[in-house]
Each structure stands twice: as C-alpha cells, then as structure tokens.
Chain A
Amino acid sequence: MDTLQNLGRWALGMFERLGRGHLFLLYVLMGTPGLLFRLRLVVQQVYSVGVLSLLIVTVSGLFVGMVLGLQGYNTLVDFGSEEALSVVVALSLVRELGPVVTALLFAGRAGSALTAEIGLMKATEQLAGMEMMAVDPLRRVVAPRFLAGFISMPLLAAIFSAVGVFGGWFVGVGLLGVDDGAFWSQMTAKVDFYEDIVNGVIKSAVFGFVATWIALFEGYDAVPTSEGVSRATTRTVVHTALAVLGLDFVLTALMFGGV
C-alpha cells in the first residue's frame, strides 16, 4: 500500500509540476506582446543569451563541419564520389546537426545561466521584492529572457550551419583536394530551400522555444536554496538535452520521414 501511495504521490507531483510549467508558459507568452514597447530589455538579454554564445557556437560549428568533411571524404572516396562530400556535409548540418548541436550547446551555455540567474533572484527574494513593488517579475524578468532565447536560437543555428559548411569546404577543398566547383554545384543541386533550410530553421525555432522555456521554468520553480538552484541548473541541462533529442526525432519523422 505504501509503494502505491508513493507512486501516486510521485505521479501527482509530476502532473502538478507539468501544469505549473504550462501555466508559467502561458503567463510568459501573455507578457511578450508588451515587450514591443520595452525592446531595450530584450536587446540586453539577446546580448547575454545570444552574443555571448556566439564564440562556442562558431568554434563548434567549424570543427563539426571539418570532422564531417574528413569522415565523409574517407567513406566517399572508396566509391569515387568524393564530389558528393558537400551534399553530406550540408545536409547533415542543415537538417540535423545545426539545430540539435546548437540547442545542446545553448542549453549548456545560455540555459544553465538563465536558470541560475532566475533561481538566485528567487533565492535572494528579488522576485518577491518586485512583486511587493507591483512589478510583475514574469513580465519584467522572465518574458524578455524568453523572447531573447527564442530569437537567438535560430540565428545561432544558422551561424552554426553556415560556419560548418565552410569548415567542410576548408577540409574537403582546401586539404583533401575535392574540386571547388563540384563542391558548390553539387550542394546547390541537392539541398532544397524549403525542404531542408526552412525545415532546419523551424526545428531550431522549436528547440529555442523549448530550451528557453525549460531553463526559465526550472529557475522560477527552483527550491530557493543554494542546493535547490544547483539542482535546478543540472535539471535544465539534462531535461533540455532529452527534450531536444526527443523532439528532434518527432520533427524529423514529420518533416522528412513520411512516417
């Protein structure tokens, strides 16, 4: 009977949390239209969420593209079709690696920072103080961060993919001697704008939405102690990674799979 009760308590707690998360999202979304008049707040957050993530995203994109170039070349050269290297590099970056790896990096670089920041604001009772002054912290603190994450993610993913293509180009054309003209022409022939690029952008926007939502909610819902904030930060990274990978499968199945 005790195990049943524990199971029930656990399930109820989970559903409660899920409900709190969705209500939180609803309030945050309701707070975003008002931000049009306070763009300065959003710009500030785009700086800390997007601009400061630029370095890690660019460097990772470059190296992922270069590794794809090397690995793809080694396989394709056996079939004498190393010109298809650009297609391998571009499609895997634009469709999958760009959005997914950027979202994982985003969770580690920006998501954890958001959680820690909001969690500490809660722990030091800054949020409560705002409420005392009749300032809605959801509108003043959380909504700008949400919008900033949602704007930054697709841009970061696009930069990741573009830099990755150049990384692949550098290894393929620069080091391994694939023909430059064939590299670009094969790529433009096989990569479709609507099918591949637009779908990749949609993916990254969805991941940005989910990653920012999880990070902000974990911070807002954190137990207001040092331990609680540290746990919330860990949960942000883990849950975002799981959510992104799971959603990626669903989105891929919907977009490309014909499932």
Chain B
Amino acid sequence: MLHSRTVEIGVGVFVAAGLAALFMLAMKVSNLSTFKAESGYAVSAHFDNIGGLTVRSPVRMSGVLVGRVSGIGFDSETYQAVVTMNIDPQYDKLPADTSASILTAGLLGEQYIGLDPGGDLRFLKDGDEIKLTQSALVLEQIVGQFLFSKAQEGAAAE
C-alpha cells in the first residue's frame, strides 16, 4: 500500500503546513503575541477633546506600550470625553498623580495616550481616574491661535 502511504503523508504535510501558516499569521503577523486580553486594570480620564483617538489605541509611558484604550464615552454633565484605559498588570507602580495627554505619533500618524509619571507615593489602582489631562491638539485651532496672535502683534505694533 505504498500509494496510500504517500497520499497520507502528503495530506499530513499539507495539513501541517496549513496549520503552521495559520500559526505564523497569528503570532508573527497579527498582534496576538503582543496583546493580552483584558487582564490589566482599568483607569479612566476626562479629556476636552480626544481628536482621532480610537478604542485599542496604544497607551504609552516614556514611549513604552503599557496598555490600550478600552473604551471611549461621553460625560453629558461635564461635556467631556471619558476615556477608559486598560493598563497591563505588570505596570502597577504608576503614581496616582500621573498625567495623561493625547499625542500623535509622527506628523500624521495615529494618536495615542502618553502618560507622564508624577511624584505621588500612592499608586494608581483599578477604577482610578487620572485628573491631570491634556487634550489632543487640533490643527485648525493651532493655526487659528497662531493667526490670532499674529494679528494682535500687528495691532500692538501700530
């Protein structure tokens, strides 16, 4: 039954190659190896404007990925955006007065939340809120402010 044997070996190789390809796509191409499901702790923050931030945007501290945005909501009492972040449990020593700002990677890149550590001896824990926040920079507003200040300079010079 040599023929049947080659057929079975061929099928075995084929199935193994297919599964290996799937595994390679999962581990090497996609983020499965870097992203651990919601195992961390949640921290929220209010922002005046979140710009282009989306769910699953990265949260970075000193450029290191420490977590991801897990939800974006709207607080209808303060008219601010509420961003909840899922921080990886291995980064459990973030000071309680850590500040969060929305930054852009590169000139036109994706937006992410940058955390700056404070000096508090207490640490952020699950459900805490980051009080110090800085909103996303909206290009039109910056250009508007620039034109406005230029106009004021011109007026002051006269």
In the complex, the answer to whether A43 meets B11 with C-beta atoms within 8 Å is yes
- Which of B14, B25, B33 contacts A94 (CB under 8 A)? B25
Contacts of A191 in B (CB 8 A): 29-31
Interface string of A131-162 (1 = CB under 8 A from B): 00000000000000000000010111011011
> Inside 8 A of A156's CB, which chain B residues have their CB?
18
B10 within 8 A of A: yes
Instruction: State in angstroms the CA–CA spacing of A192 and B32 once bound together.
Output: 7
Name which of B15, B21, B26, B35 has the most chain A CB atoms within 10 A of its CB.
B21
Whether B7 is near chain A, meaning CB under 8 Å from some CB there, is: yes
- Asked if A184 and B28 make an inter-chain contact with CB atoms under 8 angstroms apart, the answer reads yes
CB pair B33–A188 under 8 Å, yes or no, is: yes
Structural contact, A43 and B8, CB atoms closer than 8 A? yes
Contact status B31-A159, CB under 8 Å: no
Q: Residue A51 at the B interface, CB < 8 A?
A: yes
Q: What's the least CB distance linking A164 to chain B, in Å? A: 10
Q: Is the CB of A197 within 8 A of B11?
A: no
Q: Contact between A188 and B28 (Cβ–Cβ < 8 Å)?
A: yes
Within B22-42, which residues are at the interface with A (CB < 8 Å)?
22, 24-26, 28-35
Q: Across the interface, which residues of B come within 8 angstroms of A50, CB to CB?
A: 11, 14
Is the beta-carbon distance between B30 and A192 smaller than 8 angstroms?
yes
Looking at the assembled complex, report how far the CB atom of A16 sits from the nearest CB atom of chain B, in whole angstroms. 38
A51 to chain B, nearest CB (A): 4
Contacts of B4 in A (CB 8 A): 40
Closest residue of chain A to B32, judged by CB? A193
Among A43, A54, A161, contact of B25 (Cβ-Cβ < 8 Å) = A161
Residue of A nearest to B33 (CB): A188
Report chain A residues within 8 Å CB of B24. Answer: 162
Compute how far the CA of A167 lies from the CA of B34 in the bound complex, rounded to whole angstroms.
24
Contact indicator B29/A44 (Cβ below 8 Å): no
Known: A196-B30, A197-B29, A201-B22. A155 touches B11 (CB 8 A): no
State A192–B4 Cα separation when bound (angstroms): 40
* Interface residue tally for chain B (C-beta within 8 Å): 26
- Among B14, B26, B34, contact of A155 (Cβ-Cβ < 8 Å): B14
- Does any Cβ of B come within 8 Å of A187's Cβ? yes
CB contact list, B50-107 vs A, under 8 A: 56
Closest CB-CB distance, A7 to chain B, in whole Å?
46
Q: What distance in Å separates the Cβ of A42 from its nearest Cβ neighbour in chain B?
A: 9
Q: Is A165 interfacial (CB-CB < 8 Å)?
A: yes
Tell whether A54 pairs with B14 under 8 Å between CB atoms, given A94-B29, A161-B21. yes
Quick one: closest A residue to B56, CB to CB? A192
Does B151 interact with chain A (Cβ within 8 Å)?
no
> Given A188-B31, A196-B30, A158–B25 Cβ distance below 8 Å?
yes
- Whether A44 lies near B7 (C-beta < 8 A) is yes
- Give 26 A-B contacts (CB < 8 Å), ordered by A residue: A40-B4, A43-B11, A44-B7, A47-B7, A47-B11, A51-B13, A51-B14, A94-B29, A154-B18, A155-B14, A155-B15, A155-B18, A155-B19, A155-B22, A159-B17, A162-B25, A163-B21, A184-B28, A187-B29, A188-B29, A188-B30, A188-B31, A191-B29, A191-B31, A193-B31, A201-B22
| A-to-B contact residues, CB < 8 Å | 40, 43-44, 46-47, 50-51, 54, 90, 94, 152, 154-156, 158-159, 161-163, 165, 184, 187-189, 191-193, 196-197, 201
Q: Which residues of B contact A (CB under 8 A)?
A: 4, 7-8, 10-11, 13-15, 17-22, 24-26, 28-35, 56
Question: Would you list the 6 A-B pairs with minimal beta carbon distance, nearest first?
Answer: A155-B18, A162-B21, A193-B32, A193-B30, A158-B21, A51-B10
